[in-house]
Structure 1
Amino acid sequence: MRMLVRGGLVIDTAPTVVVRPETDVLIEDGRIAAVGPGLVADDAEVIDARGRIVLPGFVDTHRHVWQTALRGIGADGDLGYYFDRVMQAHGTRYRAEDVAASNLVGALECLDGGITTVQDYSHVQGSAEFAEAAVDALDRSGIRAVFGFGPSPLAGGAVDPDGLRRILGRVSGRIGVAVASIGPAYAPFEIVEADWALAAELGMPVVTHIDSSEVTPAPIAGLRDAGLLRPDTLYVHCNNLSEAELKLIAESGASVSATPAVESRLEMGGPITARLKAAGVGVGLGIDTVTSGAGDMFSVMQQVLALGHRSFTAAEVLQLATVGGARALGFTDVGSLAVGNQADLIVLRGTDLNLAGGWQDPVATVVTSGHPGNVETVLVGGTPVKRVGQVVSTSLPAALDALTESAAYLTARAAS
């Protein structure tokens, strides 16, 4: 299958951010075959991108997709409120069908806003059926995902090896799996060692929330002392870590997912992105949870730029949202429009009113002024998942109905 995205203003992100006016992108068998002006592909399906902006799809490095049915309920609370209201009052009442409904609509929301890859940290595993429902929904949506399999921090415990192996037997293609450990900031160290050993045995990455506390003031140093620092680890948040801890992460080759909007809203500590850059840590951006913030990458990029105290240019922020996130998740063929990469890309209407006049600096215009409504077309692996401003999913009406039913059930149960 061949496809030609014709005549757009192409923004690429690696190794540096470049802008190429009136440029074509040729796609063959789901990968980028050529980028340049006037490409010839007589037998290709053509997407007319004139007057439009073409760029790599966004990469969301941390999101609890299962919380889609709880949108907005934590916006007025801090982290303690989040644990009490979201995790305890609602999360403990989830059924497998609620996970399925949230994951499908949440993944479609990602695609609608130009997020083509998501790391789904799924810590709502009441049973193996929960994980299967989540993974199946991600697969149905058409998104590229890294599914983080792990227990709720309320229940504690190590990642279930049998459940993890069961999920590994169900995934392929666009869906990968990571060990989602409770981690050294929240669990006894024997649990941490068991999770890291399981990941090493299966050759899988680890993703974990992490911060310092009175009980665990230096969690990264603890991992170092146990010989558990490894490059294929994604640490989430890290707002309260010391400079010495951040340096250890950088030296290990691991990365951090920063979720600035939710970190600020839940009062998790000061902005972390500028400190991570100064420490030399690889950084990706994440949404975290729609219970406390918006679900799109445009708003997160704008938050980073606003809170970065001029530590980042607009181009650097765009890299964090694309190729930076891809590297943080271990992808080498996602996040840029390099020839040979997966054809994960988005097309924005450059003539929309909020982008009008932005052709002098289209990168800054996208970062400062873009929103999901500008996203006209989205491809994942060369397959259209959004066309002419509409998500391509025959299951969308049924998915929205299922989410409505799920939200009503959860609200009623939490109130009883």
Structure 2
Amino acid sequence: MKNLLLKGGRIVDPANHRDEIGDLLVVDGRIDQVGVVDTSSIGGDYEEIDCTGRLVLPGLIDTHSHVYQYVSGRFGLNADLCGVRSGVTTLVDQGGASCMTIPGFRKFIVESSASRVIPFISAYLVGGLEGHFYPELYRPECSDVDATLMAIEGNRDIVRGIKAHAELGGFNRWGVSVMEKAAEIGRRSDLPVYIHFGQLWPLPEEGGSDVDPDTILSDVVKLLKPGDILAHPFSRHPGGFVTTTGKLHPLVKEAVAKGLKVDVGHGSHFSYETARIVLEEGVLPDTLGSDMHGYNTSVPCPSGTPDEHPDEGHLFKGAVKFSLTSAMTSMLALGVPFDHVVRMVTTNAARMLGMEGELGTLSPGAEADISVLADERGQWQLRDNEGTRVVADRLLAPLFCVKSGVLYEADADILPEFMVA
């Protein structure tokens, strides 16, 4: 750890209503001064970094990651690869750990990573094993409300929410039974429930589906409380925010008015066409998670894990690379205002975690969590896994971050490269 002077960057800090060109001084791992800086109190004991033309933001928060490495097989990525080495200081792991495996998650992920990792505990006994490759492990009998509540109470210092699934394949098998248990865990723990929408599993081969995808949102929303989070609004799969007729589900705006939150949860099922439908109806997601995992990212596959996935759309196979900052670029290309995009990955994310004032801020005295991004102008081609292409005239890319006062270069080899349009 060394004292740092970030010089001449565009400092954007929604928590303090700050957007200006200025300097930022880090002393002893904490933010000391922002804007006009006087270094006389520390003499020459600092490293100066020229941030001219760069964005200096509160440390980015990825609200949807999968980083229970090794324990969740091919599914879990290395936390620091997705975190500090990608310019992101904080990762929310969505459902990797369960009531049975949360001690290992604390020991080997939370305590061993340079990145800050915050678990949303799974509502299922097995957590995120192999990305829910085996659907029968996620039936109602494989969810234990009391055991999960006990695990939450024993880990209140790190657990900030619950992860559950409301997708067509699960509803066709078990209806709302699992979701009822997840909602009960959320109510009794007073933590937010984060809900996956879409087609995580293929439907059972025998008999097909008896479920109308457009009824799933209605069945789930009535179980939820204000502050719970609806994920994947831009999914290309049925059963979410856009109906089978290509219109915004009529319940979405009612759910938002009720106090439910929306997280992009980008992932490999992200669709520009779906995103346009939702955004044109005036529905603006609150937070932005990348939803990167071992099936949709170009990383070596651990030995002994499946070569395929039941949902072919999850597989990388030369598909589109993405990251949290590339997801921010996608939002800008779709017309989401810059200031809102920054809030999605800073103040709004901190609020979702109940960590306002602790994360997502550049306030003097706060722990020095900072992300510095390149902010380029030009024309770049973006593509989703449906083959839809859009042209971005603004590209955000990570350069480095400062986590708890320590500087990390954004050198992860999983970061995407963009084609000039």
Deviation at 1:206, TM superposition (A): 0.9
Q: Cα 1:328–1:178, aligned 2, differ >3 Å: closer, same or farther?
A: closer
Q: Deviations over 1:259-293 (max 9, x none)?
A: 345223xx6x8333772585455421121124325
TM-fit CA distance, 1:106: 3.0
Instruction: Decide whether the 8 Å contact of 1:183 with 1:208 is kept in 2.
Output: yes
Q: Quick check: 1:219 aligned with 2:206? A: no
Structure 1 residues without counterparts, runs of 5 or longer: 69-94, 358-365, 392-416
Q: The residue matched to 1:217 in structure 2 has which SS?
A: helix
Instruction: Say if 2:60 and 2:89, in contact at 8 Å, map to a contact too.
Output: yes
2:328 is aligned to: 301
Structure 1 SS opposite 2:254: helix
Partner deviation per Cα, 1:87-124 (whole Å, 9 max, x = no partner): xxxxxxxx63858x945x23343211111122211357
Report how far residue 345 of structure 1 moved.
Answer: 0.7
Q: Tell me whether 149-158 or 10-19 shows the greater mean CA deviation.
A: 10-19
1:383 aligns with 2:389: no
177-186 or 196-205: bigger deviation = 177-186
Q: Does 1:169 align with 2:166?
A: no
Matched, 1:246 2:252: yes
1:323 equivalenced with 2:322 (yes/no) = no
Match of 1:402 in 2: none
Q: Show the counterpart of 2:372.
A: 347
Greater helix proportion: 1
TM-superposed CA distance for 1:209, in Å, is: 0.3
Secondary structure of 2:328 counterpart: helix
Q: 1:219 to 1:356 in 2, by over 3 A?
A: closer
* 1:202 equivalent among 189, 213, 227: 189
Structure-1 residue corresponding to 2:244: none
- 1:176–1:296 Cα change, 3 Å: same
Contact 2:64-2:290 within 8 A present in 1 as well: yes
Name the residue aligned to 1:287. Answer: 290
- Corresponding residue SS for 1:218: helix
**Partner amino acid for 1:379?**
V
Asked whether the 8 Å contact 2:60–2:360 carries over to 1, the reply is: yes
Structure-2 change in CA distance of 1:40 and 1:124 (3 Å): closer
Structure 1 position 368 matched with structure 2 position 394? yes
Find the partner of 2:362 among 337, 340, 360. Answer: 337
Q: Deviations over 1:47-87 (max 9, x none)?
A: 42334532222221112224x7xxxxxxxxxxxxxxxxxxx
Aligned CA distance change for structure 1 residues 195 and 259 (closer, same or farther; 3 Å): closer
- SS of 1:368's partner is strand
Which runs of 5 or more residues in structure 2 are unaligned? Answer: 200-208, 235-239, 242-247, 297-319, 379-391, 413-421
Which amino acid is the alignment partner of residue 325 of structure 1?
A: A
Contact (CA 8 Å) 1:250, 1:279: kept in 2 or not?
no
Aligned length: 332
**Distance between the aligned counterparts of 1:41 and 1:140, measured in 2?**
36
Q: Distance in 2 between matches of 1:107 and 1:284?
A: 21
Identity %: 20
Residue of structure 2 aligned with 1:60, choices 41, 59, 62: 62
Q: Give the alignment's Cα RMSD to 1 decimal.
A: 3.9
Provide the rounded CA distance (Å) in 2 between the counterparts of 1:134 and 1:383. 24
Q: Distance in 2 between matches of 1:16 and 1:275?
A: 30
Find 2:227's aligned residue among 228, 232, 235: 232
Q: Is the alpha carbon distance of 1:205 and 1:7 closer, same or farther for their aligned partners in structure 2, counting shifts above 3 Å?
A: same
For 1:215 and 1:342, the matched residues in 2 are separated by: 48
Question: 1:249, CA displacement in angstroms?
Answer: 2.5
| AA aligned opposite 1:106 | A
TM-score, with length taken from structure 1: 0.66
CA contact (8 A) 1:287 1:297 kept: yes
| Equivalent position of 1:363 in the other structure | none
One-letter identity of the residue aligned with 1:204: L
**1:61 is paired with a residue of what secondary structure?**
strand
Q: How does 1:11-410 map to 2 (within 5 A)?
A: 11-14=11-14, 18-26=18-26, 32-40=31-39, 42-43=41-42, 46-52=46-52, 53=54, 54-66=56-68, 96=71, 98=73, 102-103=76-77, 105-123=78-96, 128-129=100-101, 131-136=102-107, 137-150=109-122, 151=124, 154=135, 155-156=137-138, 157=140, 159-160=143-144, 161-163=146-148, 165-166=150-151, 168-170=153-155, 172=157, 175-183=158-166, 186-187=170-171, 188-211=175-198, 214-225=211-222, 228-239=223-234, 240-241=240-241, 242-260=248-266, 262-264=268-270, 270-272=273-275, 275=278, 278-290=281-293, 291-292=295-296, 293-294=320-321, 296-306=323-333, 308=334, 311-333=335-357, 334-339=359-364, 341-348=366-373, 368-372=394-398, 374-375=399-400, 378-380=401-403, 382-384=404-406, 386=408
What's the TM-score once normalised by structure 2's chain length?
0.65
Structure 1 residues 143 and 314, CA gap change in structure 2 (3 angstroms)? same
**Aligned partners of 1:286 and 1:115: how far apart in 2?**
11
Match of 1:395 in 2: none
Question: CA shift at 1:27, angstroms?
Answer: 5.4
* Cα distance between partner residues in 2 of 1:119 and 1:219: 25
Distance 1:302 1:336 in 2: 21
| Deviation readout 1:229-255 (Å, 9 max, x if unpaired) | 322212110344234222122112222
CA contact 1:24–1:38 (8 Å) conserved in 2 = yes
Q: Distance in 2 between matches of 1:279 and 1:340?
A: 37
Q: Does the C-alpha gap of structure 1 residues 295 and 283 become closer, same or farther in structure 2, counting only changes over 3 Å?
A: same
* 1:398 corresponding residue in structure 2: none
1:367–1:43 CA distance, 2 compared to 1 (3 A): farther
Q: Per-residue deviation at 1:162?
A: 1.9
